[in-house]
Structure 1
Amino acid sequence: MRIAMLTYSVKPRGGVVHALEVSEALARRGHAVELMTLGRPGDALFRDTALPVRIVRHTPPDVPFDERIQAMLDAYTEGLRPLLAGGRHDIVHAQDCLSANAALTLRDEGVIEHVVRTVHHVDDFTSPSLIACQDRSITAPDRVLCVSPPWVERLSADFGVTAAVVPNGVDTHRFRPPRDAAERDDARRRADVEDRLTVLTVGGVEPRKGSLTLLEAFARLRETLPHRDPLLLIAGGATLFDYRHEVERFDARVTALGLTRHVRRLGALEPDEIEGLFRAADVFAFPSVKEGFGLVALEALAAGLPLVASDLDVLRGYLTDGESALLHPVGDAAALAAALTRVARDPDLREHLRRGGKEVVAGFGWDASGREHEAAYAYMGSVAR
């Protein structure tokens, strides 16, 4: 098959990582895959790949948010037009509402025949432009996929859309435990964590990630285990959306709690830096309010980190409380703090969770995801026979 895989960014958000990994898995299975995305002038994809990568260049104008989104959509649509024209692809697969709307416009104009869309989750947008973008991207495609069963059920109930499940995966060559004590020590030295109890989260500061809940829990953890001098590392956060007000609230609360020297917002990092943080940390916290799957939680398990996470239905799809993770009620800072404290104090629990996490990871490979995508594409009658 000739596949155009569309995503909205060159930054390592979950949906972008999924798009790249699935594309590489499909290429390993013999398909001709091109990854297409939107990026600023000079930007490159977050990591190297052997795939052809087509970046539609666009500098968002300094205009109100809805106008900026429309400008991005217009630029992406026009940039994709020559890349997709002429029937060069059997499959056009969009991973987000922005790329899906660009592709749908081209489909409606007759430039391409169909659009496949993976819905990772449904956001609670308030912006009229994004509400319209999201709704159209769910109801108008020719085939809809999800990465977890709960979202299949929600799309059916809320939008009347029938979707199929395609699994996520994890790259166990990149996300792995330290090979030995020396590699662990080197990772901790590079992260500058000394001998402190180090809590890691990845995803930046935003409402959906439960950042303020994590901060309150971390403050409690420091009160409970002052002799361990806990440190909170927050990596990632590159996103299309403007969360400056959430960041301002977060920073103000850090100051009010007296945690300025104990909380580090690291921002977007290179892949090898992120992988190093996983090997340096002691525990991974994932207090999200909403997720499509929670790919970074799977990466934490693959890296051998004990995981403390929100009790979300999508996470219960592959995590078991007390076996592969400690799950806490969504938004409950006290419960999150108690779970982090248990992990920090109990080496037997940490080892138990690592073993359980390793068993979970064994069931998630990107090649298996590639096979499931083939089946989804075949359903559309687009596979050459």
Structure 2
Amino acid sequence: MYAHLCVARSVADELRAGWGLHPAVIPNGVAYERFATTDPAARAAWRARLGPYVLTVGGIEARKGSLDLIEVYAPRVIGLGIEPVVLGAVRESDLPSLVTAADVFAFPSLKEGFGLAAMEALAAGVPLVVRDLPVLREVFGPAARFADTPEALATTLAHALTSDDPVRGALGREPAARHTWTEAAARHLEFYRSVTGGSHRRVG
């Protein structure tokens, strides 16, 4: 027996259009409290090390758009003596304070299923700039700023750095708090029971 799940309606629509599949949709959760309440000393340590910074999290690969972010910023900052800082793998325990201390969180991915790292940034109350993709429009709505090209991404990030928008920040925390792993797990269990008739048969 096989069943299909997606974490966003936009991705489910792609599967229906491209492969004739009809997956159920159960969004991811986010560890809200882990990012909403971080240690002030840990945040201060990141600020002392990095100064004001735009943060992106994820692999340096084409799908994540990381190179777009670096390339579009290079001509803008070269005269200021600023260089991108690649931290490499960050300890899991250090990640929440790193995110919370950022001035803006950039999420330039070209292909995503949900955008968990960006949702964690919203939980931290950090301004969010993302690639203009249907799935990210669906997940983040008015809580994020959107950019469709690398150049627009740089411009939008600059605007986010210089503007204070408490309304947008409040809009961001609300969906982050609402997407809990407890709710996601409960919906998964309900889904498995529905497709197995309550039995313990394996669902692929």
Q: Note whether the superposition's TM-score is higher than 0.5.
A: yes
Query: Whole-Å Cα distance in 2 between the matches of residues 384 and 160 of structure 1?
Result: 27
TM-score normalised to structure 1 length: 0.48
8 Å contact kept, 1:177–1:302: no
**Could you say if the C-alpha distance between residues 362 and 279 of structure 1 is closer, same or farther in structure 2, counting changes exceeding 3 Å?**
closer
1:380 and 2:195 matched: yes
1:344 and 2:161 matched: yes
Task: Pick one of 164, 170, 175 that aligns with 1:355.
Answer: 170
TM-score normalised to structure 2 length: 0.88
- The match for 2:131 is 310
Shift of 1:204: 1.9
Query: Whole-Å Cα distance in 1 between the matches of residues 154 and 75 of structure 2?
Result: 6
Shift of 1:216: 2.8
Provide the secondary structure at the position in 2 that maps to 1:173: helix
8 Å contact kept, 2:32–2:177: no
Shift of 1:218: 2.4
Shift of 1:363: 2.0
8 Å contact kept, 2:42–2:97: no
**Could you say if the C-alpha distance between residues 345 and 215 of structure 1 is closer, same or farther in structure 2, counting changes exceeding 3 Å?**
same
8 Å contact kept, 2:35–2:97: no
- The match for 1:208 is 63
Higher helix share: 2
What amino acid is the match of 2:159?
R
Provide the secondary structure at the position in 2 that maps to 1:188: helix
Deviations 1:120-170 (A, max 9, x none): xxxxxxxxxxxxxxxxxxxxxx11111111111111221122211111110
Task: Pick one of 152, 157, 163 that aligns with 2:23.
Answer: 163
8 Å contact kept, 2:144–2:172: yes
1:335 and 2:156 matched: no
Query: Whole-Å Cα distance in 1 between the matches of residues 114 and 154 of structure 2?
Result: 23
Matches for 1:70-219 after TM superposition, within 5 Å:
114=1, 142-178=2-38, 180=40, 182-189=41-48, 192-193=49-50, 196-219=51-74
| Aligned alpha-carbon RMSD (Å) | 2.2
Would you say how many aligned residue pairs link Structure 1 and Structure 2? 200
Deviations 1:25-60 (A, max 9, x none): xxxxxxxxxxxxxxxxxxxxxxxxxxxxxxxxxxxx
What amino acid is the match of 1:326?
R
Provide the secondary structure at the position in 2 that maps to 1:285: strand
- The match for 1:236 is none
Shift of 1:221: 5.0
Q: Identity over the aligned pairs, expressed in percent?
A: 39
- The match for 2:110 is 289
8 Å contact kept, 2:39–2:97: no
Query: Whole-Å Cα distance in 1 between the matches of residues 122 and 76 of structure 2?
Result: 22
- The match for 2:92 is 271
Provide the secondary structure at the position in 1 that maps to 2:55: strand
- Higher relative contact order, chain-length normalized (CA < 8 Å, sep 6+): 2
8 Å contact kept, 1:220–1:337: no
- The match for 2:145 is 326
Higher strand share: 1
Deviations 1:210-254 (A, max 9, x none): 12221133235537xx7xx6xxxxxxxxxxxxxxxxxxxxxxxxx
What amino acid is the match of 1:184?
R
Deviations 1:44-85 (A, max 9, x none): xxxxxxxxxxxxxxxxxxxxxxxxxxxxxxxxxxxxxxxxxx
Query: Whole-Å Cα distance in 1 between the matches of residues 43 and 52 of structure 2?
Result: 14
Provide the secondary structure at the position in 2 that maps to 1:284: strand
What amino acid is the match of 2:35?
F
What amino acid is the match of 2:198?
V
Query: Whole-Å Cα distance in 1 between the matches of residues 151 and 146 of structure 2?
Result: 12
1:365 and 2:180 matched: yes
Query: Whole-Å Cα distance in 2 between the matches of residues 384 and 374 of structure 1?
Result: 12
8 Å contact kept, 1:187–1:279: no
Question: 4+ residue stretches of structure 1 with deviation over 6 A?
Answer: none
What amino acid is the match of 1:176?
A
What amino acid is the match of 1:338?
T
